[in-house]
A and B are shown apart, each in its own frame.
Chain A
Amino acid sequence: MKFNLKIWRQKNASTPGKIVDYSIDNINEHMSFLEMMDVLNEQLIHKGEPPVAYDHDCREGICGMCSMHINGRPHGPLAATTTCQLYMRNFKDGETIYIEPFRANSFPVIRDLVVDRSAFDRIMQAGGFVSVNTGSVQDANNIPVNKQHADLAMDAAACIGCGACVAACKNSSASLFVSAKISQLALLPQGQVEAKERVLAMVNQMDEEGFGSCTNTGACEAECPKEISISNIARMNREYYIASLT
């Protein structure tokens, strides 16, 4: 297979970037998208040019490190798929593919396709936890959890923190990401003690990081590689109102 690639190149945060054209040939349809990028980078290195920097690590769709806007969509054209799980058979031979970094003010570009998502970490540090110290806990089976709630909590906990929700949202809202953690802990008895402080602190931090507001377009849910439901945002809002009013 053969492709025309239009890739965002940017030397560092303070230098403006631009789209650069590359063409690539002899791509096997069973290659993953990132393996295609590897092939391109090997060609660049052999020519003495710096390879395209992009974040990636586990390459099995779970670490959340890979990002990329591919043809205008975070993680590319397929639903429920991270960039690292995308295969070239999902593209047409001869196709032109646009590859850009996730775009959001709160995710500044570091280089090429690499962005800074540390805002997510700071939101978690504000309240995305249960305050229990190591060793000070009771036997695990002393906390029975309704199976339905446990399953819903697990659905929310499956978030990989990649930031596709932010990149997909016209407002660059982080509501889906934040609500996934709030929901997980709100659904479990372990999270009840600090539920109010948690939601207030995390939402406050989200606002401070400059993420936009949620206007319920649902783009985040549609693009989320782990299919996190926007019903979590409804739960977050409910938790937030309860915490604000009581």
Chain B
Amino acid sequence: MAILDSKIPDGSLETKWSNYKSHIKLVNPSNKRKLEIIVIGTGLAGSSAAASLAELGYKVKAYCYQDSPRRAHSIAAQGGINSAKNYKNDGDSVYRLFYDTVKGGDFRSREANVYRLAEVSTAIIDQCVAQGVPFAREYGGLLDNRSFGGAQVSRTFYARGQTGQQLLLGAYSALSRQIGLGNVQMFNRHEMVELVVIDGKARGIIARNLTNGKLERHFGHAVVLATGGYGNVFFLSTNAMGCNVTAAWKAHKKGAFFANPCYTQIHPTCIPVSGDYQSKLTLMSESLRNDGRVWVPKKQGDKRKPIDIPEDERDYYLERKYPSFGNLAPRDISSRAAKEACDDGRGVGESGLAVYLDFADAIKRLGKDVIEARYGNLFDMYKHITNEDPYQVPMRIYPAVHYTMGGIWVDYNLMTTVPGLYATGECNFSDHGANRLGASALMQGLADGYFVLPYTIGDYLSGEIFTKAIPTDHPAFLEAEKQAKERIDKLLSIKGKKSVDDFHKALGKIMWEYCGMARNAEGLAKAKQMVRQLRDEFWKDVKVTGEADELNVDLEKAGRVADFMELGELMIDDALDRNESCGAHFRVEYQEEGEAKRNDEKYAYVAAWEHKGVGENSVLHKEQLVFENVHFATRSYK
């Protein structure tokens, strides 16, 4: 079995990154101008990387499937971004942020990466403020903070309930500046459909121009995937409708190992499903748990209105079970606790698949005005969707798929197992272990794009200064284009009876039922067969309308769902392999008093999967996780 080299530099945890940066190979400015970098995706990780690389002098080409880079789904992040600024003087430090993140990830992340993340977190806030990001401020004009799940300090910076939007627009403004200067060439409405590998190195992509359906060949000395997560494999998730795994999956099939695919975060506070027509789920920011109290009736099947249920007949189960963190227990724990309450027959609402998030106490304590100032837009959003006023009645919430900790395997440089191919942000696997803490996704996306990749990519590109741009009529480009075309033609030629959404919904049901919040070996084994069967059926009976050479939304969706069908099986394989519970991965066979039971002796590794062909079993490579600075501990929030 191959040993994965994580390339973690030597030295003490605190000095690794600064020493490494000082000794890493550089590319001189006149050579940077000759080097081309492709960046796929323009969310926080992609926009920040594209802008920063262009500022350094590289020639950058950036791609997004939306009509503008400003629309990437980072924009929907509500609550905030963590940073170890310690502006609150409440004892925060880089080490504490590092420790909270490792512990929050249930000891399944890489120490060195996480420490670096915590270390650069402070520079992110400086950068964003300088760009004009309108963070919330106190009356003295300084920055305000709030607290988030899994932390006992206030280290979360925010811009009302639209932090992701404001950070993304900041990165978009930096990107726009570079586009205007001619340093970045921007390709809107383009989707990467193949990776081009020449002599073992990533050298370009095939992109489909979504406006006219044309396949285009693009060369790059390096390719950066910043394509987000794969939560839409479940059909229903908080992801945007277009979020997909396609670019990452094509890279996986060309040699990039896929790590920990089974680690998917189920967010505890989403608006419950209301009917089978539902197309997506909407998140209510975790920040609401600062002031909202989660409860269900003590009695099973209690159908009284919430207001008619007296205080002593309510079970504030998070406060009861986790007194030191209370309603701010981490996401995986809060989600499972909600599921337990509902499985126990104490769920609320029509479906019984919901719990209350109640602001009555907070409104009494602080007044409606304060609550409105803090969460006004979230309350409005809730009312829009449910037609209920959360100032009057408690919100109903239920867990939903939100984020994927797993992703393309990368080393310390954020390089994948394909030389010259990088993965950043949610697209990679490295920093959140088996569970991500709130307000850390924005932090990681921007850390990778602004402060990590621009340094580490130089180490590789310094060896490429003599590589001339490879003409795109090179056989490898033609072959990749042929593959992409054949797949599109195949999809259009099946002309079966079921729509793409029919298949996507069926896949989502299997994944949610057997590979969702709770998993077991028997169910997973069954699900693997079901996914294989569904995939066979897809390729025999899917109906895709329209033509290849036009804007064709049906075809776009079909390509993405086809890839989800393959990914689904790998997620199941990974969940089956991991005979323990850790973070968001909860195997019912492995628990202790209802809490996840890890097996550090056997499973303190990153599972990196190598693709061997569709329908073939993937090969597992293990990267052993070494903890030199923190010690394994049972993750208790009690």
**Chain A residues with a Cβ under 8 A of chain B:** 11-12, 28, 30-32, 34-35, 38-39, 42, 44-46, 48-51, 53, 55-65, 80-81, 85, 87, 89, 110-111, 114, 116-118, 120-121, 124-135, 137-141, 143-147, 150, 153-154, 157-158, 160-161, 184-185, 188, 190-191
Contact = CB atoms under 8 A, between A and B. Distances in A.
Contacts of A144: 137, 140-142
Contacts of A126: 180
A31 B450 CA distance: 40
A137 B126 contact: yes
B241 interface: yes
A190 B180 contact: no
Given A34-B279, A62-B75, A64-B70, A45 B169 contact: no
Nearest to B501: A42
Given A62-B76, A63-B76, A135 B123 contact: yes
Contacts of B165: 62, 158, 160
Contact of A134 (B55, B70, B282): B55
A120 B68 contact: yes
B173 A138 contact: no
Contacts of B282: 59-60
Contact of A190 (B55, B129, B136, B274): B129
Contacts of A51: 545, 553-554
B451 A135 contact: yes
B126 A89 contact: no
B463 interface: no
A42 B123 CA distance: 48
Given A39-B277, A134-B55, A140 B131 contact: no
**What band does the interface of chain B fall in when counting residues whose beta carbon is under 8 Å from A?**
35 or more
A114 B552 CA distance: 11
Contact of B71 (A30, A38, A63): A63
A103 B75 CA distance: 26
Interface in B518-558: 543, 545-546, 550-554
A80 B383 CA distance: 13
A35 B165 CA distance: 24
Contacts of B293: none
B280 interface: yes
A145 B133 CA distance: 11
B471 to A, nearest CB: 29
Interface string B161-202: 010111001001110110110000010100000000000000
A37 B564 CA distance: 24
A65 B451 contact: no
A30 B70 CA distance: 29
B397 to A, nearest CB: 15
A58 B132 contact: no
A121 B85 contact: no
A63 B142 contact: no
